Chains A and B, each alone.
Chain A
């Protein structure tokens, strides 16, 4: 049995192709059932996000199944095969496992280390469980990939540090205040930038957002657009500042509207409660010297962008550690995956020996029939033990093989030496018959 991955991602396909290959719209379970009906694979999981659509299957032969999966990619999404084919990648066995592990770790993401992908991979597996298209092979593979995602997140800094300006602002606020629920936010200026940052803050469960603008009507409109926010006139600025924890300034003023002296006046009644000022206006709204005040933390747009760049650089430096974890887990999965390759040979070998033992016992039946029943049972037991002992080491040796070429060579040799090919043909009906015979008589 082989692992096969056929898919497209942001690395191979432009967005106009990616958005048309979408298994989410009609539901993953439906897509999985449609795929299962084609009968080209034994097991299937579909991973579908805005940046990738990937079909993971377990199949006997990779070539025809691969072609069928490409057809499925295009047919299911009503596309011409020629539109999809140039962007499709086709990866097999442990390379497919490595690919999935890198995806789960966030190494293959557009923004390296982004955290959502692991959840999406888990959803994909859950859908396959629901559609009953995941079997032993893919269950093992996906559970291993969850472990990779978790290890990379806890053991490396791949996912740490905000990589967008608005997240950087929220992360900073958290480092100053801890929990943001119960914090009060003020936005100076009713423009688009201020609104967006306020919406972002709102998603962090802050207690209250106030919009202050020179034109009260603008402030009221923006407050309404954010929802749950209130507007205040410019004359109330000092009172509003005194009651707030986080200030976002985004006015179009040509010169600073908050000077150091002004803020010192605001800070006094606050008894040095920290004030986090995010100045996203260009030109700046807050005098740089205001950052010297003890409990004022002043960040402008350049500062935030600089932290984002630092975080991206730090993530990049963690990539090799994450890749090392992926390799480790691929090796672990590979040991299991390859050992499965030897199992049919092990089974055939054991059945061959058992057949010989039974044949010999039957041949000697007339001689043994003179023995008392206990002695006959002993003979049966002893011969069984001899066979078990003879097979113990070879079985262990075969199961411990991890290299595909060696397994191939061993299988070949054993098949010839013990004529296992005939055995496979003969064994099937025999074992079925024996199972039938074991049933208690009615």
Chain B
């Protein structure tokens, strides 16, 4: 079922790219409409899977990716509607399409592992997915900031100059996305740690994965690295004037680490988060 939203995301990607190049109003509206269709069909898919297994499908790497794509699409739509800026869409869509390919190719919804229970588990996963969606937005905004910055510095006012909002606006949007992401990342990590401590002594006592939940596990280690990168960015932006281009580079770096943790590490390396 995950291929239905994938098709819409891909169509939206084409429309956003076309709109970015031509700036035709009709194409822009079509792009937004296609993305709304993608998000709606995705909501439907997630809803169906929720009914099927009795809970929101976010335990395990594949359902988590699907839910992440859905959250990012919604977060982007919200940004587009509040800022009336469509230029960012062309940078977000490839990420949505690429990530959505994974659940589309691995359609099965397995029952959640028995140890993954309790309200804290839900808070842990949903906060982290939301944090990652914010970081994805921050990364894209950062990339566009650098593109526009370079054009203005090089005194060649061309493609991006005509299409992007001002540097100041991009910088502010980037900072806001980082702050929101950082807050949820922090919540998600703390709640995850509390859950692991509870589970270790209780229902997860016999599960090797729960026992492996420590800083030695790559997934947890990289998440902590991530937290330090974003904490540094926030600190640097406020205390030593690392706004603008440096903040943009840091948010790209941060999100690269997030993606690394989210896809390859989840599938191949972690011994604690492979549900």
Contact A175 B245 (CB under 8 A): no
Closest to B151 in A: A175
Q: Is A306 an interface residue (CB 8 A)?
A: yes
Q: Is A170 an interface residue (CB 8 A)?
A: no
Q: Is A33 an interface residue (CB 8 A)?
A: no
Q: Which of A160-189 contact B (CB under 8 A)?
A: 160-161, 172, 174-178
B148 CB → nearest A CB, Å: 7
Q: Looking at the complex, which of B162-170, B191-199, B203-211 is the stretch in contact with chain A?
A: B162-170
Q: Is B242 an interface residue (CB 8 A)?
A: yes
Contact B24 A155 (CB under 8 A): yes
Could you list 22 examples of A-B contacts with CB < 8 Å? A155-B24, A155-B25, A157-B162, A161-B157, A172-B152, A175-B148, A176-B152, A177-B167, A177-B168, A178-B165, A270-B241, A272-B241, A272-B242, A272-B243, A273-B241, A274-B244, A291-B153, A297-B152, A297-B153, A299-B155, A303-B155, A307-B155
Q: How many residues in B have their beta carbons less than 8 Å from beta carbons of A?
A: 22
Extra inter-chain contacts (7) besides given A178-B169, A271-B243, A306-B155, CB under 8 Å = A157-B162, A175-B152, A175-B161, A176-B167, A271-B240, A294-B245, A307-B157
Contact B152 A178 (CB under 8 A): no
Contact indicator per residue, chain B 126-162, by CB within 8 Å of chain A (1) or not (0): 0000000000000000000000100011010110011
Closest to A299 in B: B155
Closest 4 CB pairs of A and B: A271-B241, A178-B166, A272-B241, A178-B168
Q: Is A400 an interface residue (CB 8 A)?
A: no
Inter-chain contacts of A161 with B (CB < 8 A): 157, 162
Closest to A154 in B: B25
Contact A272 B244 (CB under 8 A): yes
A274 CB → nearest B CB, Å: 7
Inter-chain contacts of B153 with A (CB < 8 A): 291, 297
Inter-chain contacts of A270 with B (CB < 8 A): 241
Closest to B247 in A: A272
A266 CB → nearest B CB, Å: 13
Inter-chain contacts of A303 with B (CB < 8 A): 155
Contact B155 A177 (CB under 8 A): no
Inter-chain contacts of A294 with B (CB < 8 A): 244-245
Known: A294-B244, A295-B244, A297-B152. A177 touches B166 (CB 8 A): yes
Given the complex of chains A and B, what is the CA–CA distance between A235 and B23 in angstroms? 49
Q: Is A75 an interface residue (CB 8 A)?
A: no
Given the complex of chains A and B, what is the CA–CA distance between A178 and B167 in angstroms? 7
Given the complex of chains A and B, what is the CA–CA distance between A310 and B158 in angstroms? 9
**Residues of chain A at the chain B interface (Cβ within 8 Å):** 154-155, 157, 160-161, 172, 174-178, 270-274, 291, 294-295, 297, 299, 303, 306-307, 310
B236 CB → nearest A CB, Å: 10
Residue in B148, B166, B169, B244 with the greatest tally of chain A CB atoms within 10 Å: B166
Given the complex of chains A and B, what is the CA–CA distance between A155 and B22 in angstroms? 8
Contact B168 A176 (CB under 8 A): yes
B114 CB → nearest A CB, Å: 52
Inter-chain contacts of A176 with B (CB < 8 A): 152, 166-168
A154 CB → nearest B CB, Å: 5
Inter-chain contacts of B157 with A (CB < 8 A): 161, 172, 175, 307, 310
Inter-chain contacts of B245 with A (CB < 8 A): 294
Given the complex of chains A and B, what is the CA–CA distance between A194 and B241 in angstroms? 31
Contact B167 A175 (CB under 8 A): yes
Inter-chain contacts of A155 with B (CB < 8 A): 24-25
Known: A155-B24, A270-B241, A271-B241. A174 touches B152 (CB 8 A): no
Given the complex of chains A and B, what is the CA–CA distance between A295 and B171 in angstroms? 12
Given the complex of chains A and B, what is the CA–CA distance between A161 and B148 in angstroms? 16
Inter-chain contacts of A175 with B (CB < 8 A): 148, 152, 157, 161, 166-167
Contact A160 B152 (CB under 8 A): no
Residue in B153, B168, B245 with the greatest tally of chain A CB atoms within 10 Å: B168
B242 CB → nearest A CB, Å: 7
Residue in A272, A303, A310 with the greatest tally of chain B CB atoms within 10 Å: A272
Contact indicator per residue, chain B 230-263, by CB within 8 Å of chain A (1) or not (0): 0000000000111111000000000000000000
Given the complex of chains A and B, what is the CA–CA distance between A154 and B148 in angstroms? 22
Inter-chain contacts of A299 with B (CB < 8 A): 155
Given the complex of chains A and B, what is the CA–CA distance between A440 and B7 in angstroms? 67
Q: Which of B56-102 contact A (CB under 8 A)?
A: none
Given the complex of chains A and B, what is the CA–CA distance between A176 and B169 in angstroms? 9
Contact A174 B244 (CB under 8 A): no
B246 CB → nearest A CB, Å: 8
Given the complex of chains A and B, what is the CA–CA distance between A155 and B241 in angstroms? 40
Inter-chain contacts of B168 with A (CB < 8 A): 176-178, 274
Given the complex of chains A and B, what is the CA–CA distance between A272 and B243 in angstroms? 7
Closest to A306 in B: B155
Closest to B167 in A: A176
Closest to B164 in A: A175
Closest to B160 in A: A175
Inter-chain contacts of A160 with B (CB < 8 A): 162
Closest to A302 in B: B155
Given the complex of chains A and B, what is the CA–CA distance between A271 and B162 in angstroms? 28
Given the complex of chains A and B, what is the CA–CA distance between A56 and B19 in angstroms? 38
Closest to B240 in A: A271
